Amino acid sequence: MEKRKPKWTIEGKTCLITGATSGIGKATAIELAKRGARIIYTARDLEKAKIVKEEIVLKSQNNDVEFFECELSSLESIKKLAENFKKRYSALHVLINNAGLWEAHRKLSKDGIELTFAVNYLAQFLLTDLLLGLLKKSAPSRVMNVSSELHRKGKINFDDLELKKHYNGMKAYYNSKLAIVLFTKELARRLQDTGVTANIAHPGLAKTDIYRALPSIEKKLIFLFGAITPEEGAKTSICLAMSDEVSNISGEYFARGKITKSSDESYDIEEAKKLWNISIEYVKKYIENSEV
């Protein structure tokens, strides 16, 4: 008789979350902490991170909460985060790449890369690669990348990934969210039979700080018509982290907690492979050997 696999539970699992000092990331961290997970999150502002830690502990009554300093617009900082994490923890069961931004005007990261592409996509790509060895060692484990329905408006232009020619803030955001979906699907293909799954979460239009660069009138309109709370937006990420039902599901796009068909372009395997190879070129200085 075949031995049954133990049922997945988040209790006692080690979770690393980016972008958890506010919005959907913080709501996700609080709920998972309530369910008994060990929560580690990244932060640029250490004073804010301390306040958030106190809030998570207070609301969850779980003291197993920690944070690491990390600037996600710096590839060097991401590498240091991964190194420090692996020195401190011997296991990683859930990686939630949640951080994201939207910029009205074209800006560059600390590495001279267009900022939206760098933070929303390349940071996820590099951090995941650097921690994959630990995720495999801790299997069964999960990678969860937060994207958006707006990925459907994205287009990967390999001749101008960083929109040097005709920058548009929303276009850069759309493209970064499509890149996340392509990356996750390719990651899932490469992780078959490793015990590590990779899925995409669409949180919905939530009232978060990501819209801070929008003109105040547009921001009010977004929040007035249908924007949900961060707690509601966190539900899909929480489901993917906690549910035993998704244990054997990988490479899927989830919205409202259910598998949903992503954009037609996101299923282009050759495009996903090409994006992967180009991404390796961007970050090769920071990885000795890619884990996949």
| pLDDT at 213 > cutoff 70 | no
> What pLDDT score does 6 carry?
82
Name which of 97-101, 156-160, 211-215, 264-268 the model is least confident about. 211-215
Sheet holding 258-260, edge to edge: 65-69, 38-43, 14-17, 94-97, 141-146, 196-202, 253-255, 258-260
The mean pLDDT of 6-15, rounded to a whole number, is 95
Count the neighbouring beta carbons within 10 Å of the beta carbon of residue 28.
32
| pLDDT, mean over the chain | 91
The mean pLDDT of 63-83, rounded to a whole number, is 98
Side chain identity, residue 180: I
Contact criterion met (CB below 8 Å) for 226 and 16: no
Both tokens assigned to 163: 């929109």
Strands (DSSP E) found in the chain: 14-17, 38-43, 65-69, 94-97, 141-146, 196-202, 253-255, 258-260
| pLDDT at 2 > cutoff 90 | no
> What pLDDT score does 221 carry?
46
> What pLDDT score does 99 carry?
94
More confident residue, 1 or 258: 258
> What pLDDT score does 4 carry?
63
Longest Cα–Cα distance in the chain: 64
Q: What is the pLDDT of residues 28-53, one digit of tens each?
A: 999 999 999 999 999 999 999 999 99
The end-to-end CA distance of the chain, in Å, is 34
- Domains by residue range for the chain, with CATH: 14-285 (3.40.50.720)
Residue 161 CA: distances (Å) to CA of 74, 122, 154, 185, 275: 18, 12, 11, 19, 10
> What pLDDT score does 219 carry?
47
Produce one character per residue of 46-72: b if its CB has 16 or more CB atoms within 10 Å, e if not.
eeebeebbeebbeebebeebebbebbb
Give the pTM.
0.92
| pLDDT at 71 > cutoff 70 | yes
The mean pLDDT of 175-183, rounded to a whole number, is 98
Name which of 49-53, 66-70, 205-209 the model is least confident about. 205-209
Q: Concatenated DSSP letters for 188-249?
A: HHHTTTTTEEEEEEE--SB--GGGTTS-HHHHHHHHHTTPBPHHHHTHHHHHHHH-GGGTT-
> What pLDDT score does 256 carry?
85
Count the neighbouring beta carbons within 10 Å of the beta carbon of residue 227.
17
| pLDDT at 231 > cutoff 50 | yes
More confident residue, 211 or 71: 71
The mean pLDDT of 285-289, rounded to a whole number, is 82
C-alpha angle 269/92/94, rounded to 5°?
55
> What pLDDT score does 215 carry?
52
More confident residue, 267 or 1: 267
| pLDDT at 1 > cutoff 50 | no
| pLDDT at 114 > cutoff 60 | yes
Name which of 50-64, 222-236, 269-283 the model is least confident about. 222-236
Both tokens assigned to 128: 């995941």
- Which residue numbers are catalytic? 173
